[in-house]
A and B are shown apart, each in its own frame.
Chain A
Amino acid sequence: AQSVTQPDIHITVSEGASLELRCNYSYGATPYLFWYVQSPGQGLQLLLKYFSGDTLVQGIKGFEAEFKRSQSSFNLRKPSVHWSDAAEYFCALYGNKLVFGAGTILRVKS
């Protein structure tokens, strides 16, 4: 079985502060891992993906994520958040199909 857990439903950060969104997964082998962002009423945009190799993955819009096999985690980070980053973020895992976490809503306060 494969599953993804995003422990935080909502996160609020101040503009300019750093951000970390948590993602934990369950899968019997090394999965493909993804982070997506969704603005209200829109489809999903891929931020970054991990398949193998370097465990620190760089993505678009200044985001990065680190794969930690020992912790079954793939947390998303950004050093300085901008107001335009306010959106919902989804972690996803591909084992034999693509499975998503429940999402984390990011609010940015000015």
Chain B
Amino acid sequence: DGGITQSPKYLFRKEGQNVTLSCEQNLNHDAMYWYRQDPGQGLRLIYYSQIVNDFQKGDIAEGYSVSREKKESFPLTVTSAQKNPTAFYLCASSILGGQSLGFFGPGTRLTVL
């Protein structure tokens, strides 16, 4: 079955450490997205990529970095520069043009201790 895989589901890290969240899709979608979800704030766009080796900052990119070396993979690194990294992170994918934005991964809950 086609879909999006995010791993791990729960992640704990010490303050000051970088951590990388995985996102893989086998839907052959060109576009991939990372969102952060905090209670009462909905989903906020961190980064998105519409083609391999290219990506754009979203609304809250500071303290995060991404790469898009393969079409199916879009890992997100939460760096030590991110002031409040504890959150639920969601990855999504779509065909270009936004007409198939129905695919989200199950999410990774990151807790920084």
- From the candidates A4, A32, A43, name the one contacting B104 in the complex (CB within 8 A): A43
Closest to B106 in A: A43
Within 8 A of A (CB), among B80-95: 88, 90, 92, 94
**A interface residues with partner B (beta carbon < 8 Å):** 4, 6, 9, 32, 34, 36, 41-46, 49, 51, 90, 92, 94, 97-103
- We find that the number of chain B residues with CB closer than 8 angstroms to chain A is 26
Tell me whether B43 and A42 are in contact (CB under 8 A): no
Dominant SS at the A interface?
A: strand
**Chain B residues whose C-beta falls within 8 Å of the C-beta of A34 in the assembled complex:** 101-102
- Cβ of B33 under 8 Å from chain A: yes
- With A42-B106, A43-B90 given, is the CB distance from A100 to B42 under 8 Å? yes
Q: Is the CB of A44 within 8 A of B90?
A: yes
- Contact A97–B45 (Cβ < 8 Å): yes
Indicate whether B2 reaches chain A with its CB closer than 8 angstroms.
Answer: no
